[in-house]
């Protein structure tokens, strides 16, 4: 018994030592900077450093450009993310069923992950030269992120054992029951993760949008939270930048927590 406890202790110690570099990196590059951002969001400026508490947050929440950027970012999530996940589901289903013409083009779904964004933006400008709507940015977001979604969902489809379907068919289950009661239930965690990953990636579309428009002030329909924070950084308005960054992180955290709560309820 003592030998088992000693081995268990040694194994736990080794695991903690392996995690230590990652924890140190996370603390140095994420936790400490975030605490500093919180500090900047509570002071009047970086010179006097008087605490004004929530004044910067109130100013940010009443700023018309912040509200515009927040609305556009949420519209991107509500509009583009469902389309992205649905397309990825259809493609993954076709790949898992071995549809020939889809399998021949599967490399095309991975290319957006490796092709430099700058080269794609040049093509996008040529294709959508006459467009004044937000459609090019939405399509660029979908095209850029569909590869990772297809990989995740295809892995989920192919991980379902054929014996599960065979056992269900022996019990008299038809195709509709197979897919609604078995397939959907088994891939649901991956679908939820894919949705959350897509939502998080929607907040990182700034680089593509900035290269496409080539300006810090795009049309109103494409002015997202990243533009607002970038412009405040260029103006050295660190208090507005910090407040908007904290609010954005709270928004992302809330979305992720809500998604995880829905997933846990679905698992029950």
Residue extents of the structural domains in the chain: 1-40, 55-267
Rounded (10°) angle between helices 184-202 and 238-267: 180
For every residue of 172-234, DSSP letters joined together read: T--HHHIIIIIIHHHHHHHHHHHHHHHHHHHTT-HHHHHHHH-SSS--GGG--HHHHHHHHHH
User: Which ranges in 62-116 belong to alpha helices (H)?
Assistant: 64-96, 100-104, 106-114
Name the architecture of domain 55-267.
Orthogonal Bundle (1.10)
What is the number of H-type helices and E-type strands within the chain?
14, 0
Is 135 exposed, middle or buried (CB count within 10 Å of its CB: 0-12, 13-18, 19+)? exposed
Dump pLDDT digits (tens) for 192-236.
889 989 998 998 888 888 888 888 888 888 899 999 999 999 888
Taking 70 as the threshold, does the pLDDT of residue 169 lie above it?
yes
Confidence of residue 262 (pLDDT cuts 50, 70, 90): confident
pTM of the model: 0.82
The arithmetic mean of pLDDT across residues 63-78, rounded, is 93
pLDDT of residue 77: 92
Dump pLDDT digits (tens) for 175-204.
667 766 777 778 888 888 899 899 989 988
The arithmetic mean of pLDDT across residues 244-248, rounded, is 92
């Amino acid at each position: 018994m003592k030998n088992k406890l000693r081995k268990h202790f040694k194994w736990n110690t080794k695991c903690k030592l392996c995690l230590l570099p990652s924890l140190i990196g996370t603390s140095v590059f994420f936790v400490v900077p975030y605490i500093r951002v919180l500090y900047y969001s509570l002071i009047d400026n970086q010179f006097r450093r008087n605490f004004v508490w929530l004044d910067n947050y109130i100013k940010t929440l009443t700023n018309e450009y912040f509200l515009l950027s927040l609305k556009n970012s949420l519209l991107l999530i509500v509009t583009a993310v469902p389309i992205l996940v649905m397309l990825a589901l259809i493609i993954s289903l076709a790949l898992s069923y071995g549809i020939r013409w889809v399998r021949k083009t599967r490399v095309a779904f991975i290319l957006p992950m490796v092709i430099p964004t700058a080269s794609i933006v040049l093509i996008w400008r040529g294709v959508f030269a006459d467009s004044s709507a937000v459609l090019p940015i939405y399509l660029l977001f979908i095209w850029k992120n569909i590869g990772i979604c297809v990989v995740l969902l295809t892995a989920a489809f192919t991980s379902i054992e054929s014996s599960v379907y065979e056992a269900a068919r022996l019990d008299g289950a038809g195709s509709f029951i197979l897919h609604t009661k078995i397939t959907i239930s088994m891939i649901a965690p991956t679908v939820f993760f894919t949705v959350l990953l897509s939502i998080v990636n929607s907040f990182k579309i700034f680089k593509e949008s900035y290269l496409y428009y080539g300006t810090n002030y795009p049309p109103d329909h494409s002015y997202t939270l990243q533009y607002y924070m970038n412009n405040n950084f260029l103006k050295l308005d660190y208090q507005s930048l910090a407040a908007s960054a904290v609010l954005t992180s709270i928004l992302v955290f809330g979305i992720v927590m809500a998604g995880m709560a829905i997933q846990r309820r679905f698992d029950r």
